[in-house]
Amino acid sequence: MKKYFCVLCFLILFTASLTAQNSDSIWVTENYYKVEKMVPMRDGISLFTAFYIPKDTARHPILLNRTPYSCSPYGVDKLNPRIYETYWLNYLKEGYIIAIQDVRGRWMSEGEFVDVRPFNPNKKGKEIDEASDTYDAIEWMVNNVPYNNNRVGCFGISYPGFYATMAALSGHPSLRAVSPQAPVTDWFQGDDFHHNGAFMLMDGFNFYSGFGKPRPKPTTAGSPGYRIPTQDSYDFFLRTGALKNFTKLMGDSIAFWKDLMNHPDYDAWWQARNARNFVTNIKPAVLVVGGTFDAEDCFGAWSLYKAIEEKNRNTDNRLVMGPWFHGGWSRGEGTYLGNVRFGKKTSEVYQRNIEIPFFNFYLKLKGTVRDIAEATVFFTGENEWRRLKEWPLKNVEYMDIFMGTDGKLSFEKNSTGHSEYISDPAHPVPYTEDIGLGRTREYMSDDQRFASRRTDVLTFSTNVLNEDITLAGPLVADLVTAISTTDADFVVKLIDVFPDEYKYDENEFGKGNGLNYPMGGYQMLVRGEIMRGRYRNSFEKPEAFTLGKITQVKYTLPDVAHTFKKGHKLMIQIQSSWFPLADRNPQKFVDIYTCNDSDFQKATIKIYHDAANASKIILPVLKN
């Protein structure tokens, strides 16, 4: 009987969902129509743009999304299925004109596509960049789209977040509000394809094997990526070997892969593609949004917000960081990630109380933004939103926590000697214990007990905490090391260890309803980051290690907003591979992008924790 009852409940919910979708579909077709236009740019190139326009004759604002991922489906009788999702549908019901544009050189737009095209602050005549393309698009729209109110907003997630940042630099007077979300800002130091100089192999190869294929003329058809001949990505990436072997699989046609391989260091080519270098004189209001568990781009939102704050005194610039995967605020409820639960519908709260009021105020002159804090940040662990006056916070004390003998982690420096492990590129530490083909988003909060059991992972833990500790800001890893080779990577992970008897309430959401996974003793990854050791002193000028010489490796991890609850433990793990998330370091000071399989070698890694050479993590502890 219980089985039949469950089936009946499913059918009722499924039927209700279909009814709601049909109702929304009817409403959209009754109230909106679609138009497709080739919008001219200053250099004679035209960009394909789909418009969803209200059928009434009232004045409406335009909300622009510029994307390299297609504004499909093409044809005025074919509506984008995304507009029926709650996130987009909310804007239609608010009466927005929605404009989705294929950027230059992608899909049905004309011209040549350039990845993260550099911003040119000194354009002359018909010179273009993504900011000028945005300016020209807005200029055409306000003069040609019927019944617009001459107020435009621009938003985008991930790569479209980069285009939203470029929109903020366009200078068009009709652009009143911009929201870069999980924005690409710097593909060498922290976004997507490099973290502190280490190449993020899995994402780089899987993405560019399809996305990077040339498109010589406008098309409605996409390109498939490389078909990996196994379901075990760890095995595939390990067997393929050195990076130059992946270049062979890529072939000769993918221009940006060649650029990745030809610019191993943070040279002028990369610096021109760092959007944070140019975010000055921003006129529209800005709402920067990101996820604290964004596997693709945890770095971008924190960093872009700080850069805009630093370079613009009068810009209305606000930050929202929630417990989301990449784009999680725009889809799903945001109640959990993998095994970890947050206890609130965080995405709904954000959409209803922050994003829509933000655009409504600036584009419709409706409501207020007084209730939107300078920084709205969800603190996991305590699972509460905090409305803050600034970020980073002034009431933070940066406290040293020291690694010590026998795996101890303490706020007091009272240890001796060192800990060591052997890093073997033939057996790299996996980033997850799961077997799968693609990079998971859940690894950002995964259980790290599998790594604690490896001999090539150092684990340091506090005693059980007798009071809550809240961290709010960037972590700094300050390691004192000596290695037996001339190069190595360092991965530092901040982990929340749950009490042995811990269980979630059965009514909360989680992986597989969270009822079967053993949460007692769970080692939750709160933040992890890799550092390519050769860049310890400069990303522009790499340096080899001297064999056996005690050396400092100090680097900053992306910001954290997390409370370690009383009864939990704070743990640090250190390792030298994170595979195949990041490529393997051959542990020899060679060009990693062109080296041979024979260059890979074992390294003995020592982490010192004596009085004179005390490895530590600098924690941003929030003071109440």
Structure confidence at residue 515 as a pLDDT band (50, 70, 90) = low
CA distance 508 to 336: 9
CA distance 500 to 509: 20
In three-state secondary structure terms, 596 is: coil
Q: Among 286-290, 398-402, 415-419, 582-586, where is mean pLDDT lowest? A: 415-419
2 pLDDT higher than 50: no
State CA 451 to chain mean position distance.
23
pLDDT, position 12: 44
Q: H-type helices in 316-385, by residue range?
A: 346-350, 356-359
Beta bridge partners, 459, equal 573
When comparing pLDDT for 17 and 480, which is higher? 480
Percentage of residues in the chain having pLDDT higher than 70 = 95
**Domains contained in the chain, CATH given:** 26-181 (3.40.50.1820), 194-270 (1.10.3020.10), 396-622 (2.60.120.260)
Q: What is the DSSP annotation of 82-132?
A: GGGSHHHHHHHHTTPEEEEEEPTTSTT--S---TTPPP-TT--TT---HHH
383 pLDDT higher than 90: yes
When comparing pLDDT for 511 and 525, which is higher? 525
pLDDT, position 1: 45
When comparing pLDDT for 376 and 16, which is higher? 376
CA distance 620 to 608: 22
19 pLDDT higher than 60: no
CA distance 49 to 39: 7
pLDDT, position 516: 78
82-90 mean pLDDT: 93
CA distance 173 to 139: 9
Compute how many other C-beta atoms are within 10 angstroms of the C-beta atom of residue 172. Answer: 21
Token pair for 103: 């950027």
CA distance 100 to 113: 17
Structure confidence at residue 16 as a pLDDT band (50, 70, 90) = very low
Question: How far apart are the two ends of the chain, measured CA to CA in Å?
Answer: 53
Pairing type for strands 418-423 and 409-410 reads: unpaired
Percentage of residues in the chain having pLDDT higher than 90 = 92
pLDDT digits (tens, 9 = 90+) for 605-622: 999 999 999 999 999 999
**Contact at 8 Å (CB) between 609 and 622?**
no
- Judged by phi (left if over 0) then psi (alpha if -120 to 50, else beta), residue 577 lies in beta
What backbone torsions phi and psi does residue 241 show, to the nearest 5 degrees?
90, -140
Angle at 56 between CA 48 and CA 355, to 5 degrees: 65
Structure confidence at residue 416 as a pLDDT band (50, 70, 90) = confident
pLDDT digits (tens, 9 = 90+) for 125-169: 999 999 999 999 999 999 999 999 999 999 999 999 999 999 999
What backbone torsions phi and psi does residue 166 show, to the nearest 5 degrees?
-65, -35
Structure confidence at residue 20 as a pLDDT band (50, 70, 90) = low
When comparing pLDDT for 10 and 199, which is higher? 199
Token pair for 333: 């409820």
pLDDT, position 511: 60
482 pLDDT higher than 90: yes
Structure confidence at residue 415 as a pLDDT band (50, 70, 90) = confident
188-200 mean pLDDT: 96
Structure confidence at residue 22 as a pLDDT band (50, 70, 90) = confident
Q: How many CA atoms lie within 13 A of 300 on its CB side?
A: 34
Residue type at 305 in one-letter notation: Y
pLDDT, position 23: 83
Contacts of 90 (CB under 8 A, 6+ apart): 351, 356
Q: What is the DSSP annotation of 458-494?
A: EEEEPPPPSS-EEEEEEEEEEEEEEESSS--EEEEEE
233-237 — which CB contacts under 8 Å span 24+ positions? 233/202, 233/436, 233/437, 233/438, 233/439, 233/580, 234/430, 234/435, 234/579, 234/580, 236/580, 237/201, 237/202, 237/205, 237/579, 237/580
- Pick from 247, 241, 228: which is nearest to 435 by CA? 228
Average pLDDT, the chain: 94
510 pLDDT higher than 70: no
Contacts of 399 (CB under 8 A, 6+ apart): 411, 618, 619, 621
CA distance 445 to 458: 19
553 pLDDT higher than 70: yes
Token pair for 196: 């502190």
pLDDT, position 365: 97
CA distance 214 to 252: 11
State CA 449 to chain mean position distance.
24
513 pLDDT higher than 80: no
Is this structure's pTM higher than 0.75?
yes
Look at the block and give the residue holding tokens 């579909």: 25
In three-state secondary structure terms, 335 is: coil
